[in-house]
């Protein structure tokens, strides 16, 4: 019998396990609190549990399904990347980003990815395997422990300046958002946001991913608000429609990256299966059913998808004036600086081009921001995760 992985189990399932082990049912709640409130990943430290139960947990259950292989820091320690080994040897990555007003963790939902987008490091690996609910949840708990350790260290050295000016070549993303000009105040003492934007396509692993969302949301445990979670999809239409019916109002981001089918199919093979008209129809259905705004991600590539005429085409698409007829979509566009991927002969758009692109969208009435860049020096930025 394989050992139960505790992070895979809901509270009800933990109760079942405790019953099967001849324990009182309330032990499950204690254990659940240890896992999700105290962030304990070692049975020996669960001091409110009787010793024999701690021993049994140690021998007969698996606590943390992630083996930390390496961790790296950038942006003066405000960005931290972890490389984990999961069972079967696959490597996955997670990134913790500390801001003045929030703490975000970006987690993987698959080891590798089958979608094959031609600008993405993960896409080049192919799919190794889906992650379990417990493996997804455990990445968030790693981030919480990492944050706690960082804060303990800061408290011990209160005069350490923790302000960064960013690197010269990335400064302009920072200046857009003020990312590195702000002083981190240590006010935020928990992970406030979880984004499913690491390795993999969440909607290609929908059930396990959704179980992780529910686990993180559970008010008896980790208690993270649904609006503090964001899932990003390459454009898997059935997943978008499924999410429209889901009981928790988590945020949806859709990777668009091109304003027409011809270009999008070259960049993202999924477009041949779910072309733009279908994708936008599903998005429209999602915004109408849920009443929530979506955000479209658009990674800017020099000379490929960053021309002014493409910005205009994108604006028309989102305003419902071309293949997707109807009222303007309830949306927002997030422009992403492309992060270099070894061996990929592409380059990021110039700063002036990005601002021009943004201005055109805004002139057409489409809300548009430029994403803050974090972690490029440790290959922890969007699309650079490849389990190195």
- The window from 25-33, 112-120, 183-191, 238-246 that contacts ligand SF4 (CB under 6 A) reads 112-120
Interaction between residue 113 and ligand SF4 (CB under 6 A) = yes
Exactly one of 64, 201, 306, 373 binds ligand SAH (CB under 6 A); that residue is 201
Helix (H) or strand (E) holding 73: strand 67-74
Interaction between residue 117 and ligand SF4 (CB under 6 A) = yes
Asked if residues 173 and 371 have their Cβ atoms less than 8 Å apart, the reply is: yes
201 annotated to bind ligand: yes
Of the listed 93, 146, 176, 373, which one is catalytic?
Answer: 93
Q: Which two tokens stand for residue 233?
A: 């999809």
Q: Which does 339 bind (CB under 5 to 8 A by kind): ligand SF4, ligand SAH, none?
A: ligand SAH
Interaction between residue 105 and ligand SF4 (CB under 6 A) = no
Cα 177 from Cα 342, distance rounded (Å): 27
Interaction between residue 122 and ligand SF4 (CB under 6 A) = yes
- The window from 83-91, 158-166, 308-316, 334-342 that contacts ligand SAH (CB under 6 A) reads 334-342
Measured from the CB of residue 294, what is the shortest distance to ligand SF4 in angstroms? 16
Q: What are the phi and psi torsion angles at 149 (to 5°)?
A: -65, -40
117 annotated to bind ligand: yes
Interaction between residue 318 and ligand SF4 (CB under 6 A) = no
Is 382 noted as a catalytic residue in this protein? yes
Whichever of 234 and 335 has its CB closer to ligand SF4, that residue is 234
Asked if residues 118 and 109 have their Cβ atoms less than 8 Å apart, the reply is: no
Interaction between residue 383 and ligand SAH (CB under 6 A) = yes
Q: Is the dihedral of CA 252, 341, 336, 313 positive or negative?
A: negative
216 CB burial (10 A radius; 0-12, 13-18, 19+): buried
Exactly one of 83, 197, 314, 368 binds ligand SAH (CB under 6 A); that residue is 197
Exactly one of 93, 135, 146, 201 binds ligand SF4 (CB under 6 A); that residue is 201
Is 144 noted as a catalytic residue in this protein? no
Interaction between residue 91 and ligand SAH (CB under 6 A) = no
Exactly one of 106, 234, 276, 280 binds ligand SF4 (CB under 6 A); that residue is 234
- The window from 58-66, 114-122, 157-165, 348-356 that contacts ligand SF4 (CB under 6 A) reads 114-122
Interaction between residue 79 and ligand SAH (CB under 6 A) = no
Whichever of 79 and 255 has its CB closer to ligand SAH, that residue is 255
Q: Residue holding tokens 């857009």?
A: 176
Interaction between residue 115 and ligand SF4 (CB under 6 A) = yes
The residue among 317, 238, 311, 307 whose CA lies nearest residue 270 is 238
Whichever of 8 and 232 has its CB closer to ligand SF4, that residue is 232
Cα 262 from Cα 266, distance rounded (Å): 7
- The window from 36-44, 82-90, 109-117, 141-149 that contacts ligand SF4 (CB under 6 A) reads 109-117
Exactly one of 338, 372, 379, 380 binds ligand SAH (CB under 6 A); that residue is 338
Q: Which residues are annotated as a binding site for S-adenosyl-L-methionine?
A: 200-201, 232, 255-257, 339
Q: Which residues are annotated as a binding site for [4Fe-4S] cluster?
A: 113, 117, 120
Which stretches of the chain bind ligand SF4, using CB under 6 A? 113, 115-117, 120, 122-123, 200-201, 234, 255, 383
Which stretches of the chain bind ligand SAH, using CB under 6 A? 119-120, 197, 201, 232-234, 255, 297, 299, 336, 338-339, 341, 382-384
Q: Which residues are annotated as a binding site?
A: 113, 117, 120, 200-201, 232, 255-257, 339
């Amino acid at each position: 019998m394989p050992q139960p992985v505790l992070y895979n189990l809901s509270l009800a399932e933990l109760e079942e396990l405790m019953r099967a082990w001849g324990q009182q049912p309330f032990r499950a709640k204690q254990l659940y609190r240890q896992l999700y409130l105290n962030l304990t990943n070692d049975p020996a430290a669960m001091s409110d549990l009787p010793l024999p139960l701690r021993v049994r947990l140690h021998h007969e259950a698996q606590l943390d399904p992630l083996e930390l292989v390496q961790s790296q820091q950038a942006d003066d320690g405000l960005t931290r990347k972890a490389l984990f080994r999961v069972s079967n040897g696959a490597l996955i990555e997670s990134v913790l980003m500390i801001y003045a007003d929030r703490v975000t963790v970006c987690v993987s939902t698959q080891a590798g990815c089958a979608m094959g987008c031609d600008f993405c490091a993960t896409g080049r690996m192919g799919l190794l395997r889906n992650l379990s609910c417990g493996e997804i949840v455990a990445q968030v708990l790693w981030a919480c422990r990492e944050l706690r350790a960082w804060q303990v260290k800061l408290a011990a050295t209160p005069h350490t300046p923790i302000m960064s000016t960013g690197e010269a070549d990335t400064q302009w993303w920072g200046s857009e958002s003020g990312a590195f000009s702000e002083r981190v105040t240590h006010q935020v003492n928990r992970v406030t946001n979880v984004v499913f934007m690491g390795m993999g396509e969440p909607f290609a692993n929908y059930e396990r991913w959704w179980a992780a969302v529910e686990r993180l949301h559970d008010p008896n445990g980790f208690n993270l608000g649904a609006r503090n979670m964001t899932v990003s999809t390459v454009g898997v239409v059935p997943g978008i429609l499924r999410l429209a019916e889901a009981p928790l109002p988590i945020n949806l981001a859709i990777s668009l990256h091109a304003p027409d089918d011809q270009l999008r199919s070259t960049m993202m093979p999924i477009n041949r299966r779910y072309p733009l008209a279908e994708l936008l129809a599903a998005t429209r259905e999602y915004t109408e059913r849920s009443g929530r705004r979506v955000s479209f991600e658009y990674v800017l590539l020099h000379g490929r998808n960053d021309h002014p005429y493409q910005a205009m085409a994108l604006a028309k698409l989102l305003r419902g004036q071309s293949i997707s007829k109807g009222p303007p979509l309830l949306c927002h566009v997030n422009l992403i600086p492309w992060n270099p991927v070894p061996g990929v002969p592409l380059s990021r758009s110039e700063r002036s081009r990005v601002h021009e692109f943004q201005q055109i969208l805004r002139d057409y009435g489409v809300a548009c921001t430029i994403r803050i860049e974090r972690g490029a020096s440790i290959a922890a930025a969007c699309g650079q995760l490849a389990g190195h």
